[in-house]
Chain A
Amino acid sequence: MKEMKIVKSELASFLDSLTSEYKVFAPVKRDGFVAFQEIHSGGEALLDYVNSKKPPKEIFLPQSEVLFTYRLGGEGLGIEEPTFEDKPMVIFGIRPCDARSLVILDNIFNSQEYKDVYYTNKREKTSVIAIGCNQPSSTCFCTSLGGGPFSPEGSDLLLIDIDQEYVVQAVTDRGEKLVKKHSQFRQVKPRGLSLMQKVTQKAEALIKSKVETGKVKTKLDGMFEDPFWDWLHEKCLGCAVCTYLCPTCHCFDIADEATDRGGRRLRIWDTCAFPLFTLEASGVNPRPTNKERMRQRVMHKFKYFVDNHNVAACVGCGRCIKECPVNLDMRAVLNSILIR
C-alpha cells in the first residue's frame, strides 16, 4: 500500500470536487452533537470530533425504509418499488470502527448467499474515506475486537492526521482511483511517514480498555442456562439506546402503513430490548422477559455472530457504554462473563 498525503488546507477543495460527482456524507454538528449528513460544500465537514452520536449505518440501513408502496385502483392492485438514486456516494470522516462495522453488516445484507437490494444498492456505490483516531475516547475498546484506531478494514481511503496534513493510505483499488483522480493528493515525505508512526503508536497506547473477547466466545458456548443471566439484566431499563446507537446491530421488523385504498410496506429497526421482539402471532414470545432479551443481545454479538460469520458483532466504538442511561457497561459485562 502506497502512502500519499493531502494538506489540510486543501481538504475542503477536495471535498468540493467530490460533491459535484458524489452524494457526500460527512460529520457535521447538529442539535449539539455530531451527525453524518449530506454536505454540499467541503467547508461543512467537521474534522475535529471524537465520533458521531448515531453511527453512520443508517445511511445504508435507515431506521425506516420504504420497501414498496401499493394502491388499489380501477385496474386492480398496483405495486410500486422505490427507485434508487444513480449518484455514487462518499462517506467522508467515518471512524475506523464504524468503517469496520460496514464489513460486519455486509455479512448479513451483502453476502455470497444473500444480497439485500436496498442495502446493497447504496453500499456498492459508496466510497468510504475514514479518518484515524489520534485521540481515542476512554470508552473505545476497538483493539479488543480486531480493530484499532487506524484499522483500514472497511475503508477505501484512510487518512491519518499528522498535524498540518493527512497521510493518505489507499486501502482498495477504489481508493487508489480516487487518489489518482484528484490533484490535491501528493507524494508524502519520509518525515510525514515517521510522524505517522509516532501518531499511531501514541493513539494505540491511549486505548486502555482491553477485553479478551476470544475467550468470551468460548465461555458463552456453555452459558445459555447459566444463572448469570438472572441478575445481569436487573438494572437494564429495556430501552433501545444501546442497540439503536450500535453500528453493528441490524435486527429489523416489517411494518405496514395502510390507508383505505393503498399503503406502504416499511423495514424498520427492531431491537432485542423490546417486548415486541420475537413476539409471535400466537402471542407466545420465546424471549418473554428482560432476562432472555439481554442474553440475546450478548449472545448474538459475541457468540452467534461468531459462529455464523467468524467475527463478533461489535467494533468497540463505546457508544452503548457512553449513552446507557443506567451505565450498564458492555466491557464490564464481558469481563464478568470471563470470570464465570
Chain B
Amino acid sequence: MPDTSVMIRDTAKKLLDEKRVDLIIGFERGTLPLRSTPCFVRRSEETERLIWNASCENNLARYLRGRKEKVGIVAKGCDTRSIISLIKEKQVAREQLFIIGVPCHGMIDRRKIEARFDGKEILEADEETERLILKGSDFTEIVNKAEFLHNSCNICSYKNPVIYDILIGDRVEEEQGIDEYEEVKEFEAQPADKRWQSFTNEVSKCIRCYACRNACPLCYCQECFVDSPQPQWIGKTTNLSDTSIFHIVRAFHTAGRCVDCGACDRACPMGIDIRKLTKKIERDVKELFHYQAGVNLEDVPPLAAFSLDDPQQFIR
C-alpha cells in the first residue's frame, strides 16, 4: 500500500490540476522533532510539501471560516466533526469543501514525551507504524506510540473521518468499550470544594494568551467577550477571578458544539487541563439533550432546536 503522505500529495495535485479546488490545507514537515505544521498549498508543484504522520495534531477546520475559494482540506476524524459543526452553524458550506479524509491512529503528545525524558532534549524522531525512535545527544530510545497519545486521542471513538469526499488509505478499527467519560465521572464524584480546587489549580496557570480560544475551530465570535472594551465584561489581569471567568464562559459557549478534538489543550503553553470543563459539559449535553456534536449532518444542535413537545414549559 502506498504511503499516506504520497496518497495525500497525489490527491491534492489532482484536485489543483483539475481546478476542483483553489487551495489545499494540510500539513508539512515542522522545524522540530515530533512537529508537523499547517500548510497552505495553491500550486500543483507545491503539493510535494504535504505530509502525514502522528504529529499532525492541529485541527485544520480552524482555518476554514471566511474563505471565498474552494478548499481541499486534509482532515482526521475530529477535524471532520468540527467541520460538521461549522457546516451546521453555517460558517462554511459543504459545497465549498473537498474533504480529504485520513483515518487517524492518534496523535503524539510531545509533552508526555518531554516528561518521560525529564528535560533531556529529543533532537531527532523517526516514526514507524507502532513505534518512535527518539534520539538525543547521548541516547537513542524506542518507545511505543500508543503510550504517548494525547488524552483526547486515548478516548476517541471517531478515528475515521465522519464525512469525506475521498478517504486516504484503510479505515482504522474504532476502539470498543472505552468509557470516554471516566475522568469526568471521577471529577463529578468529588465534593464541590475539591472540584473547585482542582479547577482553580488549573486556571491559576493561565497567562491569558488565548491560544486555547484561537486554536478552537468553534471559537469564532466576531468579538470575543474578553475583548470587548465597552462594556468590559471581564478584568484584564491573570487574577484567579478573571482567569476563572474566562475559562468558565468559554467552556459554556462550547456547549453542544465542542467535539472534544483537544485543540485547546494542545495549544495551551501552560499545560492547563482545559478539557476537564468542556468534556463535562459535553457529557451533560449528551445526557440532557441526547446530542453529540459533529457526528452527522442531520441531528439538530440543541441550541438551534425548537419543539412543541418540549418538556420545559418556558420554551413553549
The residues of A with any CB-CB pair to B shorter than 8 Å are 31-33, 48-50, 53-54, 63-64, 135, 137-139, 231, 234-235, 237-241, 244-245, 253, 255, 257, 266, 268, 271, 274-276, 279, 321-323, 325-329, 331-332
Question: Is B208's beta carbon under 8 Å from chain A?
Answer: yes
Q: Given A49-B119, A138-B121, A332-B31, check contact A234 B209 (CB 8 Å).
A: no
B249-284 interface (Cβ within 8 A of A): 266-267, 269-271
The residues of B with any CB-CB pair to A shorter than 8 Å are 30-32, 35-40, 58, 62-63, 115, 119, 121, 123, 137, 205, 207-211, 213-215, 227, 229, 232, 235-239, 266-267, 269-271
A255 touches B236 (CB 8 A): yes
A235 touches B210 (CB 8 A): no
A245 touches B115 (CB 8 A): no
5 contacts between A and B (CB under 8 A): A31-B271, A63-B207, A239-B211, A271-B209, A326-B58
Q: A237-B62, A241-B267, A326-B37 are in contact. List 11 more A-B contacts (CB 8 A).
A: A50-B119, A53-B270, A139-B32, A240-B210, A255-B237, A257-B235, A276-B227, A322-B32, A325-B266, A325-B267, A327-B36
Q: Given A231-B40, A268-B236, check contact A237 B214 (CB 8 Å).
A: yes
The chain B residue with its CB closest to the CB of A50 is B119
Residues of A within 8 A of B63 (CB): 234-235
B209 touches A244 (CB 8 A): yes
Residues of A within 8 A of B270 (CB): 31, 33, 53
The chain A residue with its CB closest to the CB of B224 is A275
The chain B residue with its CB closest to the CB of A323 is B269
A45 to chain B, nearest CB (A): 16
B73 to chain A, nearest CB (A): 13
A64 touches B236 (CB 8 A): yes
Q: Given A235-B38, A321-B32, check contact A241 B238 (CB 8 Å).
A: no
**CB < 8 Å: which of A49, A234, A325, A329 contacts B40?**
A234
The chain A residue with its CB closest to the CB of B268 is A325
Tell me the complex Cα distance, A155–B137, Å: 29
B235 to chain A, nearest CB (A): 6
A32 touches B271 (CB 8 A): yes
Interface of A is mostly: loop
Residues of A within 8 A of B36 (CB): 327
Tell me the complex Cα distance, A323–B232, Å: 29
Tell me the complex Cα distance, A276–B119, Å: 36
**CB < 8 Å: which of A138, A241, A266, A276 contacts B211?**
A241
Tell me the complex Cα distance, A257–B241, Å: 13
Residues of B within 8 A of A135 (CB): 137
Q: Given A49-B119, A275-B227, A332-B31, check contact A31 B205 (CB 8 Å).
A: yes
B33 to chain A, nearest CB (A): 8
8 shortest A-B CB distances, which residue pairs?
Answer: A325-B267, A239-B211, A64-B237, A240-B209, A327-B37, A237-B214, A329-B31, A327-B30
Most buried by B among A49, A50, A137, A244: A244
Tell me the complex Cα distance, A298–B36, Å: 22
B229 touches A276 (CB 8 A): yes
A237 touches B123 (CB 8 A): no
B123 touches A138 (CB 8 A): yes
Residues of A within 8 A of B238 (CB): 63-64
The chain A residue with its CB closest to the CB of B39 is A235
Residues of B within 8 A of A235 (CB): 37-40, 63
A264 to chain B, nearest CB (A): 10
A102 to chain B, nearest CB (A): 20
Q: Given A32-B115, A276-B227, check contact A137 B121 (CB 8 Å).
A: yes
B215 touches A54 (CB 8 A): no
Tell me the complex Cα distance, A204–B316, Å: 72
B211 touches A325 (CB 8 A): yes
Most buried by A among B137, B208, B271: B208
Most buried by A among B38, B213, B266: B38
Tell me the complex Cα distance, A322–B31, Å: 10
B214 touches A238 (CB 8 A): yes
